Structure 1
């Protein structure tokens, strides 16, 4: 390998040169530019087409989302009768006495109004059931 000596190699110029007497009046030029008041260019928002198109797109998206959000918030959180009945039938540790404890007088009145048995239907049930004593005691 050859010995490399920096002093013997030709030097390459930087390519940048300052003009003559540039730094003599540099500070005065900078102060003049700072002191000058330039008018700022004001661009009104309504003249920009991109901003208007984005604004219109946002309004359309919001308008389309209102029914979806409204429908999502108004969905009923109450249980329907079938779901409640299925849940109660699969609960093995729940019996009729537990259900009776939870009923108040208003609920009992509603149950009485909802059941409409005719005399003939009641007689048929009692006649066909061999455990009449159990039905009477309940």
Structure 2
């Protein structure tokens, strides 16, 4: 304590306002009188109020007139809209807009892609052709084709992935 010189302190460091202790008794008595007066709030409930409260609320709720409910969609409007939708659907599904397809209207690439994607073999294609087209006489003219032209065609147009052995 001697190092911090605390033994030489003569004042506590607390200050009290002037004439504080002169008025203290009056302040305490006025608070006591106020508490005594405030014990009665001034509001009074009727006798058996909480016993009859539930019954009075139920009476008010049950005598309420029912409200009229207006539906968002009436049956008449719903039937009208569904009839229009069915008519539009039938219009698009009818064959009025369809064109008749012919063999000439097909692209060669479309047919090739279909044959490749469906894995149709040469035997299946042969069954679709008439026997006159498959005669040996139609394939005799192979002497006119040069071997180099065939090799060039194969190298330029056929991928290794397209060639498969069954």
- TM-score bucket (shorter structure): 0.3 to 0.5
Relative to the length of structure 2, the TM-score reads 0.31
Structure 1 or 2, whichever has the larger Rg, is: 2
* TM-score (structure 1 length as normaliser): 0.35
